Amino acid sequence: MSRLLIVESPTKAKTIAKFLGSGYRVLSSYGHVRDLPAKNISVDTAHDFKPTYEIPDRAKEHVAELKAAAKGVDEIYLATDEDREGEAIAWHIAAILKLPVEDAKRITFHEITKSAIEHAMSAPRKLDMRLVHAQQARRILDRLVGYELSPLIGKKIRWGLSAGRVQSVTVRLIVERERERTAFNIEEYWTVDGEFSKNNESFPGKLVELDGKKVDKMEIKDEASAKAIVDRLASSPFAVTRVETKEAKKAPSPPFTTSSLQIEANSRLGMSGKQTMTLAQKLYETGRITYMRTDSTNLAQKFLDEAQVFLKAQFGAEYATGANTYVTKKKGAQEAHEAIRPTEITLTPETLPEKMDAGEKKLYDLIWRRAVASQMPSAVLRRTAVDLEGGKAMFRANGNAIAFEGFMKVYKSATERMLPLLKEGDAVDTVSVVPTQHFTEPPPRYSDATIVKVMEEHGIGRPSTYAPTISTVIDRGYVDRDDNKKLFPTDVAYTVIDMLAEHFPNIVDYEFTSGMEQKLDDVADGKEEWVPMLKEFYGPFHAAIVEKGKSINRADVVHDRQLGVDPETGLPVYVLSGRYGAYVQLGEWSEEDKKAKINKPRSASLPREASSEHLTLEEALRLLELPRVIGKTEAGEEIVANVGRFGPYLKVGPAYTSLPPALDPRTVTLEEARRTISEGTERKRRMQEPMAKLGIDPVTKNEILVKDGRYGPYVSDGITNATISKKIDPMSVTPEMAAEMLVKKRAAPKRPKFKRAGAFE
């Protein structure tokens, strides 16, 4: 009997094929095989939201292979991922292969291991149309919002802008945080900090009491007051007046869910949500971890039992005190699913294959340790507080000691501060007493970790959507990253969010968005029908689009304003909204001159982190110092420094060279400019000349070249570019390696570009 098993990814197909006999053929669909076409809305809102699907160009080759393979086989199994999207992909594959829904054999598994695959194959089920309808409803809902709201935003604000149901709410979170930061009143305060020692072991302490009164955190307002206290205490002897020690238990954290994995990977490893999920996908597909899209902290009994055996053997009986179970607190979580864990607890981070990708190793290490630690006993900490008195002042020192490591043996917390052995009456040496200046700090910008946490708290999106949502709002130009990889809104984000909040409040309302997610969950659970749910949303939404399209004027949402007058020229200074974003302008530009493209006033783009709503006259005047003529090249051509849409640059004739972050276009010297231009020219020359020629690509029949690009070496056939791993010497790449890299790149999902209005879903 011949059998065909269809999964999504080629890696997954290779892993599963190892567990099945010769009677099976395992093929990959390479992701989605049908989708709504990008060129139009493709949803018939008048007839129960009937969608029109098509096979994307990138999937046609794979679909043809699946159709050919399906001919003549006795059984076809659909083994796509176990979530709603996987169910929908299985349904689309069934439709393409003309498999009746009631007859299609659907199998799911939480891990890619031999036992899990064999168990799934022994009990195939039917397609779950509730999950299919939930995913289809989400896709249609996002298409309706994106394709009806985006053109309106493009018309009223700026062509090319877009809106999305989940993405716009995420942008609102980031905009509101930035406004909190801008409105924050920074205050100065001082603390008096001491360093003491006992038996040559030093430890810090903070002033907490003076003349019998508590010293509050912000009580010392200026340097003079702080120095007066320091001068008074500098020569005072100090002794221990109180030592208080308490034991406290610290319980292990639950195993990872999708969101907590992204949060911890960002905090500990510096990985973005997208990077984390890409690596987790690879670990899952190669059979090393369980399914990585989950909101459950549940663990299989098999793993719980194996963990206790492993812990006893590795660390002793005191570390194997019984299984820990966790209740998922998140509303609507799927308790039948599992948390993210290693498929084999005995595959420790130390025993991973040497050739395994470094990023995958780091993430596996994190997942393994978190899962194993979740089954270990609590750590016991000895917390110590010590009071030191002298000169009518009291300093307090705090420290921790680990009495029993417990779970911290494999999953350590931040370094604990230790104190020397101290007892009441001990005299201590004063190493120093110093004043320290502080400023109150605004709430921090969101990182990938903290934005995922707040999205989860608000019920915005689901495990599979967090990372793509962050990537989308960045790709669409609404959000950027600062030098510390924190998220901040671009200038246009303020305008778009304000327009949506005023005219389409539901679209950016946290509770409404969370409620829509719950309705989609209800569809998946069979508690609600998808068509009535869409009708309830679409009727009022579409009516609002029609009404607002007539009533909103551009001036109502784009707030161009005069900042003041330039003291040198007496001309007004404006901050305006243009085709490529906000800019400042000196003086007027009449409509007649604008049409004739003459007498254009001096203008300058805003820097990437600047906001037009908070821009001051002084800041605008500094921007208007540009463009600036620095001098001439050695060949006599004029060098101009300026800031443009993509940041600061140097211009020589028609040629542009980006300025590195360390150089300011307002202060860059002629020598620095010449050197930057020379380096840029050399870099461009290297990028144009191939490093190696590797023959003809078997797929495209084009020549394969190894080239050096802006982001490092890559292979190219003139159509597709594939980055060469940093671990590989580009000059050691063989024709076979290059061809394989290009095949993988062609099969990978396309990175979204900044699209026209209507493409933001």
Q: Specify the DSSP class assigned to residue 337.
A: S
Question: 284: domain range?
Answer: 258-373
- What is residue 755's predicted lDDT score, i.e. its pLDDT? 37
- What is residue 415's predicted lDDT score, i.e. its pLDDT? 56
Domain co-membership, 448 together with 435: no
Q: Report how far residue 740's alpha carbon sits from residue 685's, in angstroms, rounded to the nearest whole number.
A: 27
Q: Report how far residue 177's alpha carbon sits from residue 493's, in angstroms, rounded to the nearest whole number.
A: 12
Q: Report how far residue 87's alpha carbon sits from residue 104's, in angstroms, rounded to the nearest whole number.
A: 12
In a domain, 594, yes or no: yes
In a domain, 132, yes or no: no
- What is residue 753's predicted lDDT score, i.e. its pLDDT? 42
Write down the number of H helices and E strands in the chain: 21, 27
Q: Which of 420, 400, 428 is nearest to 241 (CA)?
A: 428
The pLDDT tens digits for 552-585 are 988 888 888 999 999 999 999 999 988 778 899 9
- What is residue 756's predicted lDDT score, i.e. its pLDDT? 31
pLDDT at 646 over 80: no
In a domain, 603, yes or no: yes
Domain co-membership, 149 together with 108: no
Task: Select which of 77, 147, 284, 291 is catalytic.
Answer: 291
CATH number at residue 353: 1.10.290.10
Name the strand (E) or helix (H) holding 105: strand 105-106
Domain co-membership, 347 together with 286: yes
The pLDDT tens digits for 361-372 are 999 999 999 999
Domain co-membership, 75 together with 91: yes
CA distances, 227 to each of 190, 193, 435 (Å): 10, 11, 6
Q: Report how far residue 392's alpha carbon sits from residue 369's, in angstroms, rounded to the nearest whole number.
A: 49
Q: DSSP for 506-536?
A: GGG-HHHHHHHHHHHHHHHTTSS-HHHHHHH
Domain co-membership, 243 together with 384: yes
Domain end, chosen from 335, 351, 373, is at 373
Task: Tell me the whole-structure pTM to 2 decimals.
Answer: 0.80
The pLDDT tens digits for 729-753 are 888 899 988 998 898 888 775 654 4
What does the block give as tokens for 283? 């670990």
Residue 141 banded pLDDT, cuts 50, 70, 90: very high
Provide mean pLDDT across the span 326-350: 79
Domain co-membership, 63 together with 117: yes
Domain end, chosen from 340, 356, 373, is at 373
- Using CB atoms within 10 A of its CB, is residue 106 exposed (0-12), middle (13-18) or buried (19+)? buried
| E-assigned strand segments in 666-739 | 692-696, 703-709, 712-716, 721-723
CATH number at residue 244: 2.70.20.10
Q: DSSP for 45-64?
A: TTTTTEE--B--HHHHHHHH
Number of domains in the chain: 6
In a domain, 15, yes or no: yes
Domain end, chosen from 85, 108, 127, is at 127
- Three-class secondary structure of residue 216 per DSSP: coil
Q: How many CB atoms lie within 10 A of CB 587?
A: 16
Q: Report how far residue 580's alpha carbon sits from residue 370's, in angstroms, rounded to the nearest whole number.
A: 46
Domain co-membership, 55 together with 77: yes
Strand 647-652 and strand 487-489: pairing? unpaired
Q: Is 147 a catalytic residue?
A: no
Least-confidence region, from 28-32, 111-115, 325-329: 325-329
Q: Provide the sign of the torsion angle of the four alpha carbons 361, 363, 368, 369, taken in this order.
A: positive
Domain co-membership, 464 together with 407: no
Q: How many residues appear in the chain?
A: 761
Q: How many CB atoms lie within 10 A of CB 437?
A: 12
In a domain, 62, yes or no: yes
The pLDDT tens digits for 363-414 are 999 999 999 999 999 999 889 999 999 999 999 999 888 889 999 999 976 5
- What is residue 112's predicted lDDT score, i.e. its pLDDT? 92
Domain co-membership, 11 together with 55: yes
Q: Which of 336, 338, 334, 330 is nearest to 459 (CA)?
A: 330
Domain co-membership, 409 together with 449: no
CATH number at residue 49: 3.40.50.140
Provide mean pLDDT across the span 145-161: 90
- What is residue 330's predicted lDDT score, i.e. its pLDDT? 57
Domain co-membership, 468 together with 548: yes
In a domain, 755, yes or no: no
In a domain, 683, yes or no: no
Domain co-membership, 122 together with 200: no
Say which residues have a Cβ less than 8 Å from residue 312's Cβ, sequence separation at least 6.
Answer: 319, 320
In a domain, 197, yes or no: yes
